[in-house]
Amino acid sequence: MEKIVSLCKRRGFIYPSAEIYGGFSGFWDYGPYGLALRNNLKNLWWKLFVDSREDMYGVDAAEITKQEVFQASGHVSGFADPLADGTKFNTMFKTSVGAGEEASIAYLRPETAQGIFTNFKNIVDSFHPKLPFGIAQIGKAFRNEISPRDFIFRAREFEQMEVEYFVRPAEWKEAFVLWQKKTHDWIVAVGIDEKKVHELEVPDSERAHYSRRTIDFEYDFPFGRKELYGLAYRTDYDLSNHAKASGVELSYLDEETKEKIVPQVIEPSLGVGRTILAVLCSAYTEDELGGEPRAYLKLKPALAPVKAAVFPLLKNKPELVAKAREIYATLKKEFGAVVFDDNGNIGKRYRRQDEIGTPFCITIDFDSLEKGDVTVRDRDTGTQERIPLSDLSAQLSRKIGSIEPLK
Ligand code: GAP
């Protein structure tokens, strides 16, 4: 774990927040490579869970939320952890909105889910979806955790990727199994080590107040087996409570039976930070290459923060540098996440890229100038092949590949 935390800091993935003031427990800032990895994961989730499906609607709700929402959802009374003395501490961040006597209490949302339930009627009215359908959201959540710990595992500000999947009451079991499988398939798709993932049926006494069935997906982190994701059967708990508290009907007219029903909900809830941490733990590899020990991130190329690095063999040969710059400019236009490096010997440059998980390094040497080809070196095996410049973009695209929609 220490090696991963140190790599993240040293190589520009993740920094302690407000570090120059001694850090801020439970808060983390992302640097260029962490942000790139995080965006790649979120974009992939959106592609696999939303864009590749016909039954999904995206929303992006406000993060500061009116107190009535969390009174109705049960969070004001029930979202509490025990303190050492046995008293309960509500972990929602409370704030006030507006000035003076007009000010009203509000909360930073502790889950993105409620912004989905409060928009249920809007989506139904604007889009007339057929059941079953889902509403998805990626966004920040905030919890005043009593003891934030284990790097980004338990943070006070974090991101969630959530789906509330609305079904007819008789269909919940089938939908639960379907989302269990999709969550498993996602774990495999992003390269989290499947052997370290365990699906745990959460007993009655340990479930959240809104859930009638929960499966936790746990991962063997270096600091122990801990919750990675949750999958919950939230019944009609949220819609019914919001309907009661707001006085607004939150039902669905079933066109088949002409009956009004309150749909029930299956919720796969995935933390972004925990995904990043499990992906990094799964990818971190130490081996020996060319007789030297090395550490590298065996990330799926499609998720890697940098897709390719371009090197002139020698820094002091203008013709090599010019050709390398030209190739770099072309690839950067096409792939975006491409870097140029002419610092130090080639071996050192390879190691620097290995450490951040760059899948391909491209070297321009004297032969390149004569024959119009380059060396492409593979991160995992260290093997090198010569590829004609005319074919470089196409081959790189193929090698980087993409992660296909879940079945
Ligand atoms: N809407 C359901 C919900 O919020 P949860 O089990 O409390 O359920 C869902 O949280 C997921 O959010 C967790 O499985 C985890 O991935 C992530 N998560 C929860 N608390 C977190 C924290 N303090 N730091 C980082 N991630 C957290």
pLDDT, tens digit, for every residue of 308-321? 999 999 999 999 99
Helix axes 272-283, 32-46, angle to 10 degrees: 110
pLDDT value for 83: 94
Q: In whole angstroms, give the CA distance from residue 344 to residue 351.
A: 11
pLDDT > 90? residue 167: yes
Q: DSSP string spanning 259-306?
A: EEE--EEEEEEEEHHHHHHHHHHHHEEEEEETTEEEEEE---TTT-S-
Q: Give pLDDT, residue 256.
A: 80
Cβ of 116 closer than 6 Å to ligand 1, yes or no, is no
Task: Assess contact for 183 and 54: CB atoms under 8 A.
Answer: no
User: Relative to the CA of 230, which ligand 1 atom is closest?
Assistant: 14
What the block records as the tokens of 165 is: 């999947």
Quote the ligand 1 centre to 91 CA distance (angstroms).
13
Identify the H or E element spanning 16. strand 14-16
Mean pLDDT, to the nearest integer, of 225-237? 98
Q: What percent of the chain has pLDDT over 70?
A: 100
Please tell me if the CB atom of residue 110 comes closer than 6 angstroms to any atom of ligand 1. Answer: no
pTM (predicted TM-score): 0.97
CB-count exposure of residue 62 (10 Å: 0-12, 13-18, 19+) = exposed
Average pLDDT in the 381-403 region? Answer: 96
Type and span of the H or E element at 392: helix 389-400
The values of phi and psi at residue 118, to 5°, are -75, -10
The pLDDT tens digits for 239-267 are 999 999 999 999 999 888 899 999 999 99
Q: Which tokens sit at 213?
A: 């069935």
Residue 270 pLDDT: 98
Q: The tokens of 26 are what?
A: 């439970």
Confidence tier at 356 by pLDDT (50, 70, 90): very high
Q: Does the structure show a pLDDT above 90 at 236?
A: yes
- Calpha distance 16→81 (Å, rounded): 25
Query: How far, in Å, is the centroid of ligand 1 from the Cα of 282?
Result: 20
Looking at residue 351, its pLDDT comes to: 97
**Ligand 1 midpoint to CA 72 (Å):** 20
Residue-averaged pLDDT of the chain: 97
Residue percentage of the chain with pLDDT more than 90: 96
